[in-house]
Amino acid sequence: MPDLPDIVQLAIPVYLAAMLAEIAIGRLRGTATYELRDTLTSLLMAVLFLAVSLGLAFFGIGVLRAIQQRWGLVDWGWSVPAFALCFVLDDLRKYWLHRVQHRCRWFWAAHVTHHSSQHYNFSTALRNPPTLLLTQIFVFRIPLALLGFPWEMIAFVAGLNSVYQFFTHTELVGRLPAPIELVLTTPSHHRVHHATNPRYLDANYAPVFIVWDRLFGTFVEESPEDPVRYGLVKNLGTFDPVRVTVHEWVAMIRDVLQPALTPAQRLGYLFGPPGWSHDGSRETTEMLRERFRNAARRG
């Protein structure tokens, strides 16, 4: 096995330089790209995420390693094509994981933290949910282990993938040349993903290859007529890192424990789409779009 560098660790100085450059450019242009408490919350989330991940990742790694060693279908070796294939397939599984994170409340409860800022800058990229590993998302890596990719290769390509994603979190870059926009996820695509405008909701999930969204029908183009508003459809009223991290878990548990619900309704609150409710008193993405359409019709 080659000696693989820890890509994310190597990228940390680059991340810091990118944030400082983004602040300096914003200041020169006179646009407030950052906000102090928002930034502090994002940075604190990054530290908490790192600490929790380091503490809990061993379990997932152990499971994936055992699966690959026992049932791995192919011995891929350590060639460049093997890395390339692993990178593409990892991106495909991340597309589906990300789609599930937006359409199933159990996963959304963790992922919502990443979307909770009303700002969009490089620090937003670091606003990762410390509770992510609670949702056991490592199970989405099992297909790669079953295909025979060793854990070290999966971790290496996942590191590259997350470094790429970091750089899509900026307003400094407009549209890139058409061939790039066609194949790769660009800042413009990911801005749409972080938007609360009804037409942009639940779109552009792909971390690196936007072709997955084009292929599976979830691609939406950024439009100058509808400037992106960032955050959540019901924005948080707090920067408290504990509340930012656990608010959706608290809401979900309260919903599940309501009296007089059927078991299916309790499961609906856990695994249904965000906004689902047993009595229609909340709003899913589809209901929200309908409300906005009706309001537009009434003028």
User: Least Å distance between CB 268 and another protein?
Assistant: 20
Q: Which is nearer to another protein, 113 or 218 (CB)?
A: 113
Question: Does residue 295 interact with another protein by CB under 8 A?
Answer: yes
Question: Does residue 291 interact with another protein by CB under 8 A?
Answer: yes
Q: Which is nearer to another protein, 237 or 280 (CB)?
A: 237
Residues 121-160 that bind another protein (CB under 8 A): 123
User: Least Å distance between CB 278 and another protein?
Assistant: 17
Question: Does residue 193 interact with another protein by CB under 8 A?
Answer: no
User: Least Å distance between CB 98 and another protein?
Assistant: 22
Count CB atoms within 10 A of the CB of residue 154: 24
Binding residue (CB under 8 A) for another protein from 251, 256, 270, 287: 251
Cα separation, 31 vs 25, in Å, equals 9
Q: Which is nearer to another protein, 27 or 77 (CB)?
A: 27
Cα separation, 203 vs 226, in Å, equals 15
Cα separation, 242 vs 161, in Å, equals 28
User: Least Å distance between CB 72 and another protein?
Assistant: 31
Cα separation, 143 vs 139, in Å, equals 8
Question: Does residue 199 interact with another protein by CB under 8 A?
Answer: no
End-to-end Cα distance, the chain = 64
Question: Does residue 255 interact with another protein by CB under 8 A?
Answer: no
Q: Which amino acid belongs to residue 147? A: L
Q: Which is nearer to another protein, 12 or 183 (CB)?
A: 12
Cα separation, 7 vs 286, in Å, equals 39
Q: What is the b/e burial string over 207-220, where b = at least 16 CB atoms within 10 angstroms of the residue's CB?
A: bbbbbbbeeeebbb
The answer to whether the CB of 254 falls within 8 A of the CB of 226 is no
Question: Does residue 25 interact with another protein by CB under 8 A?
Answer: no
User: Least Å distance between CB 283 and another protein?
Assistant: 11
Residues 35-74 that bind another protein (CB under 8 A): 35-40, 43, 47
DSSP letters, 182-194, are: HHB--HHHHHHHT
Binding residue (CB under 8 A) for another protein from 13, 177, 217, 224: 13
CA distances from 105 to 77, 102, 160, 266 (A): 38, 7, 28, 12
Closest of 245, 207, 205, 203 to residue 222, by C-alpha: 203
Question: Does residue 279 interact with another protein by CB under 8 A?
Answer: no
Question: Does residue 287 interact with another protein by CB under 8 A?
Answer: no
- Residues lying near another protein in the complex (CB under 8 A) are found at 9, 12-13, 15-16, 19-20, 23-24, 26-27, 32-40, 43, 47, 118-119, 123, 229, 231, 233-239, 243-244, 246-247, 250-251, 291-292, 294-296, 298
